[in-house]
Amino acid sequence: MARVLEMDIPETMKAWVLGDPDQLRPVEKHVPHPGVAEVLVRIDAVAICATDLEIISHGSPALIDGELPFNKNFTPGHEYMGTIVALGPTVDEYAVGDRIAVEIHAGCGRCPRCRMGMYTSCLNYGANFGAFPKGHRANGYTTDGAFTQYAVNHVNTLVRVPDNMSDEVATLIVTAGTATYGLDVLGGLVAGNSLAVTGAGPIGLLGVAVGKALGAGPVILTDIVGERLKIGTRLGADHVINAARESAVEAVQRANGGSGVDFVLECSGAPRAVDEAIAMVNRGGRVCLAAFSHRPVSVDISQIVMNNIYLFGIRGEGQSAVRRAAALMAQQKFDASPVHTHTFPLSELPEALRHAREKLNGAIKVVIRNQEW
Protein backbone atom coordinates (compact mmCIF):
# COMPACT_ATOMS: atom_id res chain seq x y z
CA MET A 1 0.00 0.00 0.00
CA ALA A 2 1.42 3.39 -0.95
CA ARG A 3 2.20 5.45 2.10
CA VAL A 4 1.28 9.08 2.39
CA LEU A 5 4.53 11.03 2.62
CA GLU A 6 3.24 14.20 4.15
CA MET A 7 0.00 15.26 5.68
CA ASP A 8 -1.47 18.68 6.13
CA ILE A 9 -0.89 19.66 9.71
CA PRO A 10 -2.70 22.75 11.00
CA GLU A 11 -1.06 25.25 13.36
CA THR A 12 -3.81 24.94 15.97
CA MET A 13 -6.32 22.33 17.07
CA LYS A 14 -9.52 22.04 19.09
CA ALA A 15 -8.97 20.80 22.63
CA TRP A 16 -11.09 20.35 25.75
CA VAL A 17 -9.45 21.59 28.93
CA LEU A 18 -10.37 20.99 32.56
CA GLY A 19 -11.23 24.07 34.63
CA ASP A 20 -12.77 23.54 38.05
CA PRO A 21 -14.01 20.00 38.89
CA ASP A 22 -16.53 18.77 36.27
CA GLN A 23 -15.95 21.88 34.12
CA LEU A 24 -14.63 21.19 30.63
CA ARG A 25 -14.40 23.93 28.04
CA PRO A 26 -13.24 23.94 24.41
CA VAL A 27 -10.15 25.98 23.52
CA GLU A 28 -7.66 26.28 20.66
CA LYS A 29 -4.21 24.88 21.38
CA HIS A 30 -1.05 24.82 19.28
CA VAL A 31 -0.41 21.50 17.58
CA PRO A 32 2.71 20.10 19.33
CA HIS A 33 5.94 19.20 17.51
CA PRO A 34 7.52 15.75 17.88
CA GLY A 35 10.98 15.57 19.44
CA VAL A 36 13.65 12.88 19.17
CA ALA A 37 12.08 9.38 19.08
CA GLU A 38 8.58 10.88 19.00
CA VAL A 39 5.83 11.08 16.38
CA LEU A 40 2.92 13.43 15.92
CA VAL A 41 -0.35 11.47 16.04
CA ARG A 42 -3.56 12.73 14.49
CA ILE A 43 -6.00 11.34 17.04
CA ASP A 44 -8.80 9.59 15.19
CA ALA A 45 -10.70 8.05 18.13
CA VAL A 46 -10.53 7.93 21.93
CA ALA A 47 -12.57 5.81 24.32
CA ILE A 48 -13.86 7.21 27.60
CA CYS A 49 -12.60 5.36 30.67
CA ALA A 50 -13.98 5.36 34.22
CA THR A 51 -10.68 6.93 35.27
CA ASP A 52 -11.37 9.91 32.98
CA LEU A 53 -14.61 10.47 34.90
CA GLU A 54 -12.68 10.21 38.16
CA ILE A 55 -10.05 12.72 37.01
CA ILE A 56 -12.61 15.21 35.67
CA SER A 57 -14.58 15.14 38.95
CA HIS A 58 -11.87 14.61 41.58
CA GLY A 59 -8.51 15.22 39.93
CA SER A 60 -6.59 12.20 41.18
CA PRO A 61 -4.80 10.17 39.82
CA ALA A 62 -3.91 12.95 37.37
CA LEU A 63 -1.01 15.11 38.50
CA ILE A 64 -0.01 18.26 36.60
CA ASP A 65 2.96 20.33 37.80
CA GLY A 66 2.87 18.19 40.93
CA GLU A 67 -0.71 19.25 41.76
CA LEU A 68 -4.30 18.27 41.00
CA PRO A 69 -5.10 18.96 37.33
CA PHE A 70 -7.68 21.72 37.75
CA ASN A 71 -7.27 25.05 35.92
CA LYS A 72 -3.94 24.02 34.39
CA ASN A 73 -4.92 24.10 30.73
CA PHE A 74 -4.90 20.28 31.02
CA THR A 75 -6.58 18.02 28.45
CA PRO A 76 -7.68 14.60 29.80
CA GLY A 77 -8.39 11.40 27.80
CA HIS A 78 -6.04 8.44 27.42
CA GLU A 79 -7.42 5.44 25.48
CA TYR A 80 -6.74 6.50 21.93
CA MET A 81 -5.64 5.55 18.47
CA GLY A 82 -4.79 7.56 15.39
CA THR A 83 -2.63 8.09 12.35
CA ILE A 84 1.01 9.17 12.35
CA VAL A 85 1.28 12.50 10.50
CA ALA A 86 4.87 13.58 11.28
CA LEU A 87 8.06 11.94 12.49
CA GLY A 88 10.52 13.45 14.96
CA PRO A 89 14.29 13.13 14.50
CA THR A 90 15.68 9.54 14.43
CA VAL A 91 12.30 7.82 13.94
CA ASP A 92 12.51 4.99 11.42
CA GLU A 93 10.27 2.51 13.24
CA TYR A 94 7.11 4.02 11.77
CA ALA A 95 6.08 5.94 8.67
CA VAL A 96 3.71 8.80 8.07
CA GLY A 97 0.28 7.30 7.43
CA ASP A 98 0.68 4.36 9.84
CA ARG A 99 -2.35 3.66 12.04
CA ILE A 100 -1.41 3.09 15.66
CA ALA A 101 -2.86 2.71 19.15
CA VAL A 102 -1.05 4.40 22.03
CA GLU A 103 -0.10 2.96 25.42
CA ILE A 104 -0.96 5.37 28.21
CA HIS A 105 2.23 5.21 30.26
CA ALA A 106 5.60 6.01 28.73
CA GLY A 107 7.25 6.19 32.15
CA CYS A 108 10.56 7.98 32.55
CA GLY A 109 12.65 5.17 31.08
CA ARG A 110 15.42 5.71 33.64
CA CYS A 111 14.14 4.53 37.04
CA PRO A 112 14.51 0.89 38.26
CA ARG A 113 10.81 0.11 37.68
CA CYS A 114 10.82 1.44 34.14
CA ARG A 115 13.97 -0.60 33.47
CA MET A 116 12.03 -3.70 34.62
CA GLY A 117 9.24 -2.95 32.19
CA MET A 118 6.99 -1.74 35.02
CA TYR A 119 6.58 1.72 33.52
CA THR A 120 3.04 2.07 34.83
CA SER A 121 4.68 2.05 38.29
CA CYS A 122 7.39 4.55 37.32
CA LEU A 123 9.18 5.89 40.39
CA ASN A 124 9.28 9.32 38.76
CA TYR A 125 5.50 9.44 38.26
CA GLY A 126 4.54 13.02 37.57
CA ALA A 127 8.16 14.20 37.55
CA ASN A 128 7.83 15.92 34.21
CA PHE A 129 7.92 19.49 35.45
CA GLY A 130 10.22 21.78 37.43
CA ALA A 131 13.94 22.47 37.07
CA PHE A 132 14.92 18.89 36.21
CA PRO A 133 12.03 17.21 34.42
CA LYS A 134 12.66 13.49 34.31
CA GLY A 135 10.68 12.96 31.15
CA HIS A 136 7.90 10.94 32.74
CA ARG A 137 4.79 10.80 30.58
CA ALA A 138 1.33 9.31 31.11
CA ASN A 139 -1.19 10.61 28.58
CA GLY A 140 -4.18 12.26 30.22
CA TYR A 141 -2.65 11.76 33.68
CA THR A 142 0.58 13.77 33.88
CA THR A 143 0.69 15.17 30.35
CA ASP A 144 -1.99 16.32 27.93
CA GLY A 145 -4.32 13.56 26.82
CA ALA A 146 -6.59 12.84 23.90
CA PHE A 147 -9.75 14.95 24.15
CA THR A 148 -8.15 16.97 21.36
CA GLN A 149 -7.02 16.40 17.77
CA TYR A 150 -3.24 15.83 17.84
CA ALA A 151 -0.72 14.46 20.34
CA VAL A 152 2.98 13.73 20.46
CA ASN A 153 3.99 10.23 21.57
CA HIS A 154 7.21 8.27 22.04
CA VAL A 155 7.71 5.38 19.63
CA ASN A 156 7.98 2.99 22.61
CA THR A 157 4.30 3.50 23.35
CA LEU A 158 2.94 2.75 19.88
CA VAL A 159 1.41 -0.46 18.55
CA ARG A 160 0.27 -1.01 14.99
CA VAL A 161 -3.40 -1.22 14.09
CA PRO A 162 -4.24 -3.56 11.21
CA ASP A 163 -6.03 -2.10 8.18
CA ASN A 164 -9.10 -4.26 8.76
CA MET A 165 -9.67 -3.06 12.36
CA SER A 166 -12.02 -0.12 12.89
CA ASP A 167 -10.89 2.99 14.74
CA GLU A 168 -13.48 2.29 17.45
CA VAL A 169 -12.27 -1.26 18.10
CA ALA A 170 -8.65 -0.08 18.02
CA THR A 171 -9.35 2.20 21.01
CA LEU A 172 -10.03 -1.01 22.97
CA ILE A 173 -6.50 -2.36 22.43
CA VAL A 174 -5.20 -0.49 25.47
CA THR A 175 -8.02 -1.81 27.67
CA ALA A 176 -7.34 -5.33 26.42
CA GLY A 177 -3.71 -4.61 27.34
CA THR A 178 -4.72 -3.90 30.93
CA ALA A 179 -6.61 -7.20 31.06
CA THR A 180 -3.57 -8.94 29.57
CA TYR A 181 -1.30 -7.39 32.20
CA GLY A 182 -3.65 -8.70 34.90
CA LEU A 183 -3.50 -12.22 33.48
CA ASP A 184 0.27 -11.82 33.26
CA VAL A 185 0.70 -11.22 36.97
CA LEU A 186 -1.65 -14.12 37.71
CA GLY A 187 0.71 -16.49 35.95
CA GLY A 188 0.82 -15.64 32.26
CA LEU A 189 0.44 -19.18 30.98
CA VAL A 190 -3.19 -19.53 31.96
CA ALA A 191 -4.06 -22.32 29.50
CA GLY A 192 -5.97 -25.04 31.30
CA ASN A 193 -6.49 -22.97 34.45
CA SER A 194 -9.89 -21.93 35.72
CA LEU A 195 -10.52 -18.19 35.79
CA ALA A 196 -13.27 -16.10 37.33
CA VAL A 197 -13.64 -12.48 36.25
CA THR A 198 -15.67 -10.35 38.64
CA GLY A 199 -17.22 -7.23 37.11
CA ALA A 200 -18.30 -6.97 33.46
CA GLY A 201 -17.05 -3.48 32.69
CA PRO A 202 -14.63 -2.98 29.78
CA ILE A 203 -11.58 -4.47 31.56
CA GLY A 204 -13.57 -7.44 32.88
CA LEU A 205 -15.18 -8.16 29.52
CA LEU A 206 -11.85 -8.00 27.75
CA GLY A 207 -10.34 -10.07 30.59
CA VAL A 208 -12.81 -12.77 29.64
CA ALA A 209 -11.88 -12.47 25.97
CA VAL A 210 -8.11 -12.49 26.54
CA GLY A 211 -8.32 -15.30 29.13
CA LYS A 212 -10.33 -17.41 26.73
CA ALA A 213 -7.97 -16.61 23.84
CA LEU A 214 -5.04 -17.78 26.01
CA GLY A 215 -6.73 -21.09 26.75
CA ALA A 216 -8.05 -20.56 30.29
CA GLY A 217 -11.03 -22.73 31.13
CA PRO A 218 -13.59 -22.55 32.39
CA VAL A 219 -13.84 -18.77 32.20
CA ILE A 220 -16.58 -17.54 34.52
CA LEU A 221 -17.93 -13.98 34.58
CA THR A 222 -19.93 -12.36 37.38
CA ASP A 223 -21.81 -9.05 37.37
CA ILE A 224 -25.15 -7.66 38.54
CA VAL A 225 -26.31 -6.41 35.11
CA GLY A 226 -27.84 -9.03 32.83
CA GLU A 227 -27.14 -7.09 29.61
CA ARG A 228 -23.44 -6.94 30.41
CA LEU A 229 -23.35 -10.67 31.15
CA LYS A 230 -24.87 -11.30 27.71
CA ILE A 231 -21.97 -9.41 26.16
CA GLY A 232 -19.63 -11.52 28.30
CA THR A 233 -21.07 -14.63 26.68
CA ARG A 234 -20.39 -13.11 23.25
CA LEU A 235 -16.79 -12.49 24.32
CA GLY A 236 -16.34 -16.14 25.25
CA ALA A 237 -17.38 -16.64 28.89
CA ASP A 238 -18.21 -20.32 29.55
CA HIS A 239 -20.49 -19.38 32.45
CA VAL A 240 -22.06 -16.09 33.46
CA ILE A 241 -23.41 -15.46 36.95
CA ASN A 242 -25.78 -12.71 37.99
CA ALA A 243 -24.54 -11.80 41.47
CA ALA A 244 -27.71 -9.83 42.13
CA ARG A 245 -29.70 -13.10 42.07
CA GLU A 246 -27.42 -15.64 43.70
CA SER A 247 -24.25 -15.95 45.77
CA ALA A 248 -21.40 -15.29 43.36
CA VAL A 249 -18.98 -17.37 45.46
CA GLU A 250 -21.20 -20.46 45.50
CA ALA A 251 -22.12 -20.08 41.82
CA VAL A 252 -18.48 -19.77 40.76
CA GLN A 253 -17.59 -22.92 42.70
CA ARG A 254 -20.56 -24.76 41.23
CA ALA A 255 -19.54 -23.69 37.71
CA ASN A 256 -16.06 -25.08 38.35
CA GLY A 257 -17.19 -28.53 39.42
CA GLY A 258 -17.65 -27.68 43.08
CA SER A 259 -14.20 -26.31 43.80
CA GLY A 260 -12.60 -22.87 43.84
CA VAL A 261 -10.97 -21.45 40.72
CA ASP A 262 -7.23 -21.02 40.14
CA PHE A 263 -7.41 -17.32 39.33
CA VAL A 264 -9.70 -14.37 39.95
CA LEU A 265 -9.39 -11.14 37.98
CA GLU A 266 -11.28 -8.60 40.10
CA CYS A 267 -12.68 -5.79 37.94
CA SER A 268 -15.73 -4.62 39.91
CA GLY A 269 -14.33 -2.51 42.74
CA ALA A 270 -17.36 -3.58 44.78
CA PRO A 271 -16.92 -3.19 48.57
CA ARG A 272 -17.05 -6.97 49.22
CA ALA A 273 -15.17 -7.91 46.07
CA VAL A 274 -11.82 -8.72 47.70
CA ASP A 275 -13.34 -11.01 50.34
CA GLU A 276 -15.44 -12.72 47.69
CA ALA A 277 -12.47 -13.14 45.36
CA ILE A 278 -10.51 -14.75 48.20
CA ALA A 279 -13.41 -17.12 48.79
CA MET A 280 -13.66 -17.94 45.06
CA VAL A 281 -10.07 -19.15 44.57
CA ASN A 282 -8.83 -22.55 45.66
CA ARG A 283 -5.97 -22.95 48.15
CA GLY A 284 -2.79 -21.47 46.68
CA GLY A 285 -4.89 -19.52 44.19
CA ARG A 286 -4.17 -16.05 42.89
CA VAL A 287 -6.25 -12.89 42.85
CA CYS A 288 -5.44 -9.83 40.75
CA LEU A 289 -7.14 -6.56 41.65
CA ALA A 290 -7.69 -4.36 38.59
CA ALA A 291 -10.37 -2.11 40.12
CA PHE A 292 -10.65 -0.19 43.35
CA SER A 293 -13.45 0.87 45.63
CA HIS A 294 -13.89 4.48 46.64
CA ARG A 295 -13.67 3.79 50.34
CA PRO A 296 -11.30 1.61 52.35
CA VAL A 297 -12.70 -1.91 52.78
CA SER A 298 -12.00 -4.52 55.43
CA VAL A 299 -10.63 -7.88 54.31
CA ASP A 300 -10.47 -11.22 56.11
CA ILE A 301 -6.68 -11.57 56.15
CA SER A 302 -6.81 -14.94 57.93
CA GLN A 303 -8.33 -16.55 54.83
CA ILE A 304 -5.47 -15.22 52.71
CA VAL A 305 -2.77 -16.50 55.07
CA MET A 306 -4.31 -19.85 55.98
CA ASN A 307 -4.99 -20.68 52.34
CA ASN A 308 -1.71 -19.37 50.92
CA ILE A 309 -3.53 -17.01 48.57
CA TYR A 310 -1.59 -14.54 46.46
CA LEU A 311 -3.00 -11.04 46.08
CA PHE A 312 -1.77 -8.68 43.35
CA GLY A 313 -2.61 -5.12 42.36
CA ILE A 314 -1.98 -3.81 38.88
CA ARG A 315 -1.97 -0.35 37.46
CA GLY A 316 -2.73 0.00 33.78
CA GLU A 317 -0.89 -1.82 31.06
CA GLY A 318 2.74 -2.61 31.99
CA GLN A 319 5.26 -5.11 30.61
CA SER A 320 4.35 -4.48 26.97
CA ALA A 321 1.01 -6.18 27.58
CA VAL A 322 -0.59 -3.85 25.04
CA ARG A 323 1.57 -5.31 22.27
CA ARG A 324 0.41 -8.81 23.18
CA ALA A 325 -3.22 -7.75 23.37
CA ALA A 326 -2.88 -6.04 19.99
CA ALA A 327 -1.42 -9.26 18.55
CA LEU A 328 -4.38 -11.30 19.82
CA MET A 329 -6.80 -8.80 18.31
CA ALA A 330 -4.90 -8.56 15.01
CA GLN A 331 -5.02 -12.37 14.81
CA GLN A 332 -8.77 -12.15 15.46
CA LYS A 333 -8.58 -14.43 18.52
CA PHE A 334 -11.62 -12.55 19.78
CA ASP A 335 -14.00 -9.85 18.62
CA ALA A 336 -13.87 -6.87 20.99
CA SER A 337 -16.52 -4.89 19.12
CA PRO A 338 -19.48 -5.70 21.45
CA VAL A 339 -17.71 -3.68 24.18
CA HIS A 340 -18.04 -0.51 22.06
CA THR A 341 -21.59 0.75 22.43
CA HIS A 342 -21.70 4.49 21.60
CA THR A 343 -19.95 7.02 19.36
CA PHE A 344 -19.92 10.84 19.57
CA PRO A 345 -18.02 13.61 17.76
CA LEU A 346 -15.36 15.46 19.77
CA SER A 347 -17.61 18.54 19.85
CA GLU A 348 -20.12 16.56 21.95
CA LEU A 349 -17.67 15.37 24.59
CA PRO A 350 -19.80 16.52 27.58
CA GLU A 351 -22.76 14.48 26.29
CA ALA A 352 -20.49 11.49 25.67
CA LEU A 353 -19.15 11.75 29.23
CA ARG A 354 -22.71 11.86 30.55
CA HIS A 355 -23.52 8.63 28.70
CA ALA A 356 -20.43 6.97 30.15
CA ARG A 357 -21.05 8.24 33.70
CA GLU A 358 -24.75 7.38 33.84
CA LYS A 359 -24.35 4.25 31.69
CA LEU A 360 -27.19 5.56 29.51
CA ASN A 361 -28.74 3.15 27.00
CA GLY A 362 -26.49 0.31 28.07
CA ALA A 363 -23.29 2.32 27.55
CA ILE A 364 -20.10 0.36 28.13
CA LYS A 365 -17.39 1.92 25.97
CA VAL A 366 -18.26 5.34 24.61
CA VAL A 367 -15.92 6.39 21.80
CA ILE A 368 -15.19 9.91 20.57
CA ARG A 369 -14.34 10.66 16.92
CA ASN A 370 -11.70 13.37 17.29
CA GLN A 371 -11.64 14.90 13.85
CA GLU A 372 -15.39 15.59 13.94
CA TRP A 373 -16.19 18.94 15.44
Q: Which residue is nearest to Zn ion (CB)?
A: 49
Per residue, what are the HEC states of 101-116?
A: EECCECCCCCCHHHHC
Nearer to Zn ion, 171 or 256 (CB): 171
Contact 187, 114 (CB under 8 A): no
Least distance in angstroms from the C-beta of 112 to Zn ion? 8
CB nearer to Zn ion: give 113 or 254. 113
Whole-angstrom CA distances from 157 to 82, 254, 322 are 13, 42, 9
For residue 154, the minimal CB distance to Zn ion (Å) is: 13
Closest approach of Zn ion to the CB of residue 206, in Å: 12
Q: Which is nearer to Zn ion, 50 or 96 (CB)?
A: 50
122 or 220, CB closer to Zn ion? 122
Residue (124 or 198) nearer to Zn ion, CB? 124
Angle of helix 321-330 relative to helix 202-213, nearest 10 degrees, comes to: 70
Q: Which residues bind Zn ion (CB under 5 A)?
A: 49, 51, 107-108, 111, 114, 122, 124
- Residue with smaller CB distance to Zn ion, 64 or 108: 108
C-beta closer to Zn ion: residue 78 or 369: 78
Cβ atoms within 10 A of the Cβ of 26, count?
15
Strand partners, 17: 25
DSSP E strands, 92-198: 99-102, 150-154, 158-160, 195-198
- Nearer residue to Zn ion within complex by CB, 56 or 252: 56
- The C-alpha angle 311, 274, 219, rounded to 5 degrees, equals 80
* Shortest distance (Å) from residue 174 CB to Zn ion: 7
User: Which residues are registered as beta bridge partners of 343?
Assistant: 367
Task: Report the nearest approach of Zn ion to the CB of residue 59 (Å).
Answer: 16
In whole angstroms, the minimum distance from the beta carbon of 309 to Zn ion comes to 27
Q: How many Cβ atoms sit within 10 Å of the Cβ of residue 361?
A: 8
CB of 189 within 8 A of CB of 321? no
The least CB distance from residue 290 to Zn ion, in Å, is 11
Q: Which of helix, strand or coil describes residue 86?
A: strand
User: What is the DSSP code (8-state) at residue 362?
Assistant: G
Instruction: Please answer whether residues 103 and 140 qualify as being in contact, where contact means their C-beta atoms are separated by less than 8 angstroms.
Output: no
What DSSP designation does 364 have?
A: S
The distance of closest approach from Cβ of residue 255 to Zn ion in the complex, given in angstroms and rounded to an integer, is 29
DSSP β-ladder status, 99-102 and 219-223: unpaired
Q: What is the DSSP track for 308-360? A: T-EEEE--SSTTTHHHHHHHHHHTTSS--GGGEEEEEEGGGHHHHHHHHHHTG
- Among 158, 175, 169, CA closest to 79: 175
Backbone angles phi, psi at 26, to 5 degrees: -80, 140
- CB nearer to Zn ion: give 54 or 351: 54
Least Å distance, CB 230 to Zn ion, is 23
Q: Which is nearer to Zn ion, 76 or 107 (CB)?
A: 107
- Minimum CB separation from Zn ion for residue 107, in Å? 4
